[in-house]
Amino acid sequence: MDRVLYVVANGGKQLMYAQALNSHNLANANTVGFQQDLANFHTQLIAGPGLDTRAYATTEDAGVTFDKGTIQTTGRSLDVAVNGDGWIAVQAPDGSEAYTRAGNLHVNVNGQLMTGADHPVIGESGPIVVPQYDHLDIGTDGTVSIRPIGQEPSTLSNIGRIKLVSPDHATLVKGGDGLLRTRDNTPVEAATDVTLVSGALESSNVNSIEAMVNMIALARQFEVQVKVMKTAEDNDASSTRIMNLG
């Protein structure tokens, strides 16, 4: 069997992985604060005796794009968007600290301030717990203020401040839960220069048109791999017929 079959089969496998990643991005084009995933292709020569006549394509996760989405005004008091570089600190399911730009917040039945994906929002001393209130405001510096039930409109009580961070992009990696963490899983110090836009949300940074074009391109590349497999099969059949003539 011609070894080219192994090469093109591997190429098809890597293209399927890239297509799955691209489809995931496209599916999250409307997800608040979503960071687009990237993938890189590399050429890996096959080691062995003689010349390097075969090379495999390998795909690796290249992280995410840190482009900013569009900030859209909602008017909802629990909606916040990170202004410029920066992240909202949240508690991941395993208890570690992670980061997101999704600011569609809500208060659950236990009074915890949560993201839309139900991750507790971290404050200066752990997850923020909100007492019962008539009205809630989130300031540009992340300060959470409430008007307690039954109090005058001018009565405000600060209950905590959302932890906002601004780590170096090179230190961040994205997990399967969609949250970003530092490579060594070490919490980042709070940043004083990160601000929020209240009553607004940041859209996904996925370009839907670009993702659709990429999907078509990947599909055509996969078709080429299949055609090469068919050519290898035809060559093998022709060689067999020639051998049978003897």
* 119 burial via Cβ count (<10 Å: 0-12, 13-18, 19+): buried
For range 141-149, the mean pLDDT: 92
For range 153-160, the mean pLDDT: 85
Same domain as 179, residue 121: yes
Query: CA 73 to CA 10: how far, in whole Å?
Result: 46
First CA to last CA distance, the chain: 20
* Residue 13 φ/ψ, nearest 5 degrees: -65, -45
Q: What is the pTM of this model?
A: 0.81
Same domain as 88, residue 147: yes
Query: CA 136 to CA 138: how far, in whole Å?
Result: 7
Say whether pLDDT at 233 is over 90.
no
Cα–chain center distance at 246: 60
Please report which confidence band the pLDDT of residue 61 belongs to, taking 50, 70 and 90 as the band edges: low
Same domain as 162, residue 61: no
- Is residue 89 within 8 Å of residue 162, measured between CB atoms? yes
* pLDDT score at 212: 95
For range 120-144, the mean pLDDT: 93
Say whether pLDDT at 79 is over 90.
yes
Same domain as 23, residue 99: no
Same domain as 128, residue 8: no
**Domain ranges, residue 153:** 71-202
Same domain as 195, residue 81: yes
Q: What percent of the chain has pLDDT over 70?
A: 94
Pick the range with the lowest mean pLDDT from 24-38, 66-80, 117-131, 147-161. 147-161
Instruction: Render pLDDT for 24-53 as a digit per residue (tens, 0 to 9).
Output: 999 999 999 999 998 777 777 777 676 666
Same domain as 76, residue 37: no
Same domain as 139, residue 21: no
Q: Which of 188, 226, 213 is nearest to 5 (CA)?
A: 226
Distances 66 to 37, 202, 210 between C-alpha atoms, Å: 10, 13, 16
Same domain as 219, residue 107: no
Task: Report how many domains make up the chain.
Answer: 2
Same domain as 121, residue 239: no
* pLDDT score at 73: 96
27: Cβ contacts below 8 Å, ≥ 6 apart: none
Instruction: Render pLDDT for 167-176 as a digit per residue (tens, 0 to 9).
Output: 999 899 998 8
Same domain as 104, residue 188: yes
Q: What percent of the chain has pLDDT over 90?
A: 59
Say whether pLDDT at 231 is over 70.
yes
* 48 burial via Cβ count (<10 Å: 0-12, 13-18, 19+): exposed
* pLDDT score at 153: 76
Q: 242 or 23, which is more confident?
A: 23
Instruction: Render pLDDT for 102-130 as a digit per residue (tens, 0 to 9).
Output: 999 999 999 999 999 999 999 988 999 99
Please identify which residue in the block is written with the tokens 């590399």.
42
Amino acid at 212: M
* pLDDT score at 53: 65
Query: CA 236 to CA 246: how far, in whole Å?
Result: 16
* pLDDT score at 31: 94
Same domain as 185, residue 235: no
